[in-house]
Chains A and B, each alone.
Chain A
Amino acid sequence: MSPPRGASDETSAPSRTDGPRADAVLSAGAAIIGVVLVFRGLELGVDPAVVASPGLAPVTFGSLLIVSALVLLVRSVQTLLAGKATNGRGTPRGGTDLGHLRTPAALLAVLVLYVLLLDTLGFLLSTALFSVLVLGMLGWRGVRGMVAGIVLAAASYALFDVALRVPLPRGVLG
């Protein structure tokens, strides 16, 4: 049976995944973070006899991260080498096709813009702008997207600011 689409919970195995090359990059990145934590922890001081050693947790957790990253790194390198040995037959996708990143990257860029404008324009205006842009990006362009975006902004403002009394940024509407 196929794994669930978009499933994110405890045991999900996403259907669109990167290959061992991406795993190698991920594990190398995690190992570097672990090394930084260990070094920083050592600077903070590690002495089990001194209970207040603030470096103890960074060194311990950083070391655990390094070990788990190295295990994954070894596995992914083994998979890559095995793939090369069989001339690449049956190897998972290496993650070189970046086309799948387009919509998530655009969505993220609009999210960043939204947060940047949140204080200046205020929640209502920035949410309307954000909603219209995202709806357009996902296929709701023109009048339908504009109306839906404005209604969505007004509804979310009513929900948070009016009904739940959450003080949201007012921005230019003061």
Chain B
Amino acid sequence: MESLVTGFETMLDPYLLLVCLVGVIVGTLGGLLPGIGPVGTMALLLPFVYTMEPLPALIVLTGIVFGANYGNSTSAILLNIPGDPAAAATTIDGHQMAKNGRPGPALSIAALSSTMASLLAIAGIAMLSSVVAPLAIDFGPPEFFGLGLLGLTMVAALGTGSRAKAFLGAGLGLILVLPGLDPVSGLPRFTFDLPELSGGLDLVPVAMGLFAIGELLYNAESPDARATVSRIGKLLPTREELRWSFAPALRGSILGFFIGVLPGAGSAPAAFGAYGLETRVARRRAMLGRGIPEGVAAPEAANNAAAGGAFVPMLTLAIPGSAPTALILGALIVLGARPGPLFLSQQQDLFWSLIAALFIATVLLLVLNLPLVGVWASILRVPYPLLTTSLLVVTVAGVYSVQNSLLDVWIALAFGVLGYFLRRASVPMAPIILGFVLGSIIENAFRQSLLLSRGSFDIFVIRPGSLTLLLVTGALIILPPVLARARRSLTPTRSNLGDSP
């Protein structure tokens, strides 16, 4: 408790409050604009974040994550276009409420549910991190190798869409850590005789290329596919609507948080999971899909809680649970902060200041979002050509500004082209960025393990923690296709039911 009070005292610094405010505003904007999302917004701001101390950097990045989760619901409700996949489930009832003439109450319910979920998630981060971190203190390199592999496998295995493509994305992410000096021998590897590459590929050009340039090129295919924004009108929900929203928001918060804690699960599965739960347990489940508050409250609470839950493995194990936390982890490592099992004990001030910052960000978001909802909605009317051109200019200038290097801009362009084609091929981006961030953790842990064992691979199986993690990883790779095949073979077909024509 004392640490938390110290955290709040730290956060009273006007500079940190300003950074927090900037983070949530920029995050809301990024979440609001379809196709940008939290990761794109963070990628755009990374060049500025790199000039900051770890605490303000952490505050601005977490502010973006929380802000984006508020903003994405606005476009989902008003345009039927989610700002990012985490808000896709919100479109079902949220946009229907808007079409039914209640866009304001839908936005308010989304904001209130998000606030409730964020506050519960912050409490969850504080409590669960205190439990997980001491358990992980005894972890050595083999366990971290297992954790890294598990995190990467989970993001590939648990996402929606093609698992094969997700694993391919993870593989592509892993190989991005290869250019640069070998971390043990110091010998150059895949540097193509470019001295600038001896430090390896930097997170900024890779992330901005994949997420910002790739997305903008992809969106350029159909620049005029824009809907009109509904008029908002009355903002506040009725008492009845609030009453219907409370239990789904609570259920969504709890479910979302625990899904978020799983490395790789992410906010979108949490939101759809919560919506799915409501289709089974909600009292008015038969009306879901026709525009009822339960269908807004549950997924909105879940995606916010999941975004919070993903901080637990990132802070305590240095294993990012999602693409946004992968970027935060990457930035923190560059800035010299070391998330991991010792983070809570060795960097207590940073941890508790972060908890306080998350709380302040949540309050700021509620205060900003409800009264300013009309302003946010008007931003959705920014013409597409102007938006795309501005974002491209900011991306190029941002990448250049990190090291005043044109090579970085060329690298970002190359990754932009790669990101465009990977999007067209439906290869998810999250495993790539997670592979990139986790790749060096996995490589270092792997080689340190072999150093400890003098070259014997037995070290990965004789330690119970490492063995367990590797077994779970193996099960995640092998079991889903085996179970799917078994299910298909067990499904009765027409012919064996005897009703074939």
Interface residues of chain A, those whose CB is within 8 Å of chain B, are: 1, 3-14, 16-18, 22-23, 26-27, 30, 33-34, 37, 40, 44, 47-54, 56-58, 60-62, 64-65, 67-69, 71-72, 75, 95, 100, 103-104, 107-108, 111-112, 114-115, 118-119, 123, 127, 130-131, 134-135, 138-140, 145, 148-149, 152-153, 156, 160, 164, 166-169
- Mark the stretch among B54-62, B112-120, B378-386, B467-475 that contacts chain A: B378-386
How many angstroms from the CA of A35 to the CA of B401 in the assembled complex?
36
A22: B residues at CB distance < 8 A: 424-425
A6 and B35 within 8 A (CB):
yes
Please give me the residue from chain B that is nearest to A132 by CB atom: B389
Query: How many B residues have CB within 8 A of the partner chain?
Result: 101
A127: B residues at CB distance < 8 A: 393, 397
How many angstroms from the CA of A26 to the CA of B396 in the assembled complex?
27
B162: A residues at CB distance < 8 A: 72, 75
- Mark the stretch among B124-132, B170-178, B276-284, B336-344 that contacts chain A: B170-178
CB distance from A6 to the nearest CB of B (A): 3
How many angstroms from the CA of A121 to the CA of B86 in the assembled complex?
42
CB distance from A8 to the nearest CB of B (A): 5
Partner of B426, one of A14, A40, A58: A14
A58 and B189 within 8 A (CB):
yes
A7 and B35 within 8 A (CB):
yes
Mostly, the B contact residues are helix
Mostly, the A contact residues are helix
Please give me the residue from chain A that is nearest to B397 by CB atom: A160
CB distance from A103 to the nearest CB of B (A): 4
Please give me the residue from chain B that is nearest to A145 by CB atom: B385
Would you list which residues of chain B between 150 and 179 have a CB under 8 Å from chain A? 155, 159-162, 164-165, 167-168, 170-172, 174-175, 177-178
Please give me the residue from chain A that is nearest to B155 by CB atom: A10
A166: B residues at CB distance < 8 A: 397, 400-401
CB distance from B137 to the nearest CB of A (A): 25
Partner of B168, one of A16, A27, A37, A114: A27
B34: A residues at CB distance < 8 A: 4-7
24 contacts between A and B (CB under 8 A): A5-B34, A7-B35, A11-B161, A11-B428, A12-B428, A14-B423, A14-B424, A14-B426, A27-B168, A30-B171, A48-B457, A56-B450, A65-B172, A68-B167, A68-B168, A72-B162, A103-B221, A104-B220, A107-B392, A115-B413, A134-B392, A139-B385, A152-B389, A168-B400
